[in-house]
Every structure is written in structure tokens, then in C-alpha cells.
Amino acid sequence: MKLTFLGAAGTVTGSRFLVENQGSRVLVDCGLFQGLKSLRLRNWEPFPVPPDSLDGVVLTHAHLDHSGYLPRLVREGFDGEILCTPATAKLCDILLPDSGRIHEQDAGFANKKGFSKHKPALPLYTEADALRVSARFRPVEFGEEAHVGGLAVRFQPAGHILGAATATMSSKAGTILFSGDLGRADDPLMPAPAPPGEADWIVMESTYGDRSHPDGNPAEAIGRLVRETVDRRGVILVASFAVGRAQSLVYWLNRVFELGLAPRIPVFVDSPMASDVTSLYREFSHCHRLPPEGSSAVCDGARFIRSVDESKWLGTQTNPMVVVAASGMMTGGRILHHLKTFGPRKETCILITGFQAAGTRGATLVSGGDELKIHGKYVKIRARVERIDMLSAHADQGELLEWIGSAPNRPARVFLVHGEPAAADALRVRIQDRLGIGVSVARDGESATLGDRS
């Protein structure tokens, strides 16, 4: 068996791993590169192997850095099946067409304003391309065995977001376990990741491999920010992934109001996609931890904005309110329009709740930058920028170590992916020292041959 790292090596986006086994080729995850322009340009490179040579794709979860290249892969000739959990398939049916629309809009906007070097600017893929992916999904329930390219595949819950899974792939040569993105042990919305099963090799994420998430109560931290912003008569602007984070924010904001930690102000989730995603929490109640009344608090605890007119109307509001909008790292979406409107006002609070990859506008704000380039123009940011790291949907260093340490056997090797170099290396040292397992930090384009009989 041969494993090749085609992305998410030395970086947190572009998850793509190729498993070759006795003449078959299976791709694990098919993500977009996001963040720095040098990374984003990689989305435009030809796929490293001909897409029609792939026997199938195994998809761990729906986040775009794992799934967002699928429309391009299908357009370029991939005609196999995409194995994933039913919730992941449903989420992708929402996320991928939206991603196609954003690519089309960005290209259209660039053409209108003439700020792209390419004439005309073309979308990476279109909504129509994304809609063609849907027919390729083969939903596989957690714990069920499915087969692709001569490999037996099994998904187990990874926490993280609705439908997220670890994927175990076995052949005569051995078993590889892909962690996908691992969630937290004690998230109020998502279950804890299932411990790893027996595996010869583990490909493991390392996003927060060098960090511990802060202790503390998110309700208190968010409550304080809401109180302070209401006192300034400002607006709280939260850049959020539409999947997972938006629902978690609505849940915690409702806790804040219920507990009386801040005056109740309107909460708007300005994302048609987040509205659709939130309704899946009712459909896939077995995939999360919320009781029925908790699901209602998430589904009914905010006003979900769909139309562009309503979104523009938000920009005219002056009373304190919370606006949650995508994208989570401010790389696109409606948050950009709100940043242009509310960012220059000093009474505004821009709340950052998630990981911000290098090169994104979110990373600029986190590092103290006070100017953002939006739609080709510079916008001066006078708003307060606040950060709450407690809502992470990713395991931290301690939780990652606990997860790998709970493996029933000692794997022959662990490959660390999906981490900036410092995070991956810190985790490598910890795993080696504490558990005595051989660990490699995956390098982009590198292959590893696994097992004697491959």
C-alpha cells in the first residue's frame, strides 16, 4: 500500500491523501487550499493524478478544506463514488453549490471592478459543477463496512461537526486510519471522537498540536463582550463557518441570555447556508448531543437571513445586535460586506472564534492589523477585535494525545497532517516522547510505502 500526501502537509487546508493498493487508487478527502495566495493558486494546478484514474473518494467530513475540490474533480473526469456518512453528504449538498456560487460571484465581481489580473476572471468551478457531485455520494452509516478500490472502509464518529468521521481503510497489506478533523472531548453540541481502532498506520490532524485551549466558560466570555458592546451601542460581528461554529454560537448566545449574563439583543445569522445547515440538526439528531429542546434553542434562537435585501438591511441598522456571517476566516461571503460597513466604527466588536489560517483577513486582524483589503480596496478597521478560543471544534494538544494514546495497539507509524509546521512538530515530539510511537510530519508530495505485502 502506498500513501501520498497531496495537500494539508505543512498547512491546514487542502486535505487530499492518495492511497494506492494493488493497482487501485482511492483519494481520502478532496479539499480546497485556502489562505495565502500561494496556497490558493494550488487549486488551479492540474490534479496530481488523472481524476478518472481514481476508483473512489473517501470523505471524512464536509468542511470545504476537505470537500471543496470535489466539484472540480468531477468536472475534470472523476466518475467514481464518494463514500461518506449520510450527514456529510447532506451537508455537502448545501456547502458545495454555495461554494460554486461564491466562486462565480467573486469572478463576476472581479470582472465588474476589473481588479483581477485575469481577463476574464473565471470561477474555479460553478454552482452547476457542484450540483453534479451530489449523484456521486454513497452514504455509509457509522460502523458499517463499505468497499472501494479493494479496500474495506469504516467510519467512526470524530465529533468536530455533524457527520464528521474518522475513516479506517483496510487491505491485505494492513490498515490505515485517517483521523479527519477531531473534535473536543466535552463539546455541548458534538459527541467526543471515538477512540481509534486497531491500525498499522495513523494519519492524524495536528491543527492545535502545539496548544491547549483555554479553560473557562464560553457563556461568561461571550456575555462580557455582549455587555461591553451593548454599553457602547455597537454591533458584534462574528465571522463564522456556516457549519458547526454558527450553531455553536447561537447555542452559547442563548445560554448568555438565559443566564442573564447580558441584555438580550437580536441575533442574526446572515447566511442562507447556515439556515439550511441548522435544519439538519433536527434531521440528524443522532449525530449530536443536544436534547430536542436544545435543538430548538439552536434552530430558533436566531433570525436566519436569506435574501440579499435583508442582508443589506442589516447594514443600515444602528442598534446593538449580533451578526454572525460566513466565511469563518473572512476569505469571502457576506461577512466582507459587514466588515466594510461596521469595521471602520470604533463601537463595533469583531469577534474571532476560530482558527485563522496564515494569509486570511482573520489572521491579519488577530495579529493586530488595522487595514483589510476587501474587494480590491483597503478598509480601515477601527473596531475592537476580540478573540475567544474556547469554541474550537478541534481537539487541542492534550486531547490529541489522549486520542492517539487510547489506540488499542501501537501503530507502526503516525503521519501528522493538517497543521502549520510548528504545531505538527510540537505534536510529533510529544507523541514520540510520551507514547514511543514513530511519528513523521507529512511533507507535501511525499509518499510512504506501507506494509511488507503491499
Residues of this chain that interact with Zn ion (CB under 5 A) are: 63, 181
- 47 to each of 33, 54, 384, how far by Cα in Å? 12, 11, 41
Closest by Cα among 228, 250, 232 to 241: 250
Exposure pattern of 421-445 as b/e (b: 16+ CB <10 Å)?
Answer: eebbbbbbebbeeeeebebebbeee
CB-nearer residue toward Zn ion: 190 or 381: 190
Number of neighbouring beta carbons within 10 Å of residue 199? 22
Q: How far is the CB of 214 from Zn ion (least distance, A)?
A: 20
Nearer to Zn ion, 63 or 361 (CB): 63
CB of 62 to Zn ion, least distance (A): 8
CB nearer to Zn ion: give 14 or 234.
Answer: 14
Asked whether the beta carbons of 322 and 268 are under 8 A apart, the reply is yes
3-class DSSP state of 219: helix
CA–CA separation, 49 vs 46, rounded Å?
A: 8
To Zn ion, the closest distance from the beta carbon of 6 in angstroms equals 17
DSSP state of 133: T
* CB of 190 or CB of 365, closer to Zn ion: 190
> Is residue 379 within 8 Å of 348, Cβ to Cβ?
no
Minimum CB separation of residue 181 from Zn ion in Å reads 4
CB of 259 to Zn ion, least distance (A): 29
Q: Which lies closer to Zn ion via its Cβ, residue 12 or residue 230?
A: 12
| Minimum CB–partner distance for residue 65 and Zn ion (Å) | 7
Nearest distance, CB of residue 202 and Zn ion, angstroms: 18
For the record, the C-alpha cell of 441 comes out as 510530519
Q: Where are the beta strands (DSSP E) in 1-160?
A: 2-5, 16-21, 24-30, 56-58, 81-84, 137-139, 145-148, 151-157
Q: 171 or 392, CB closer to Zn ion?
A: 392
**Shortest reach from residue 357's CB to Zn ion, in Å:** 12
Strands 447-449 and 2-5 turn out to be: antiparallel
Of 182 and 230, which CB lies nearer to Zn ion in the complex structure?
182
Would you say 146 and 153 are in contact if contact means Cβ atoms under 8 Å apart?
A: yes
Going by the DSSP 8-state scheme, the letter that residue 358 receives in this structure is T
Percentages helix, strand, coil for the chain (3-state, rounded to 5) are: 35, 20, 45
Q: Are 429 and 210 in contact (CB under 8 A)?
A: no
- Looking at the Cβ atoms of 63 and 288, the one nearer to Zn ion is 63
**Smallest gap, in angstroms, from Cβ of residue 419 to Zn ion?**
13
Per-residue DSSP letter, 343: T
Q: Closest approach of Cβ 257 to Zn ion, in Å?
A: 28
Q: Which is nearer to Zn ion, 301 or 419 (CB)?
A: 419
> How many residues would you count in the chain?
454
Angle between helices 397-405 and 421-435 (to 10 degrees): 40
Q: Which residue number, 109 or 284, has a Cβ lying nearer to Zn ion?
A: 284
The nearest distance, CB 193 to Zn ion, in angstroms, is: 12
Q: Smallest Cα–Cα separation from 57: which of 29, 93, 19, 37?
A: 29
Buried residues in 9-41 as b, exposed as e (16+ CB within 10 A): bbbbbbbbbbbbbeebbbbbbbbbbbbbeebbe
Q: What is the DSSP letter of 271?
A: -
* For Zn ion, the closer CB: 25 or 63: 63
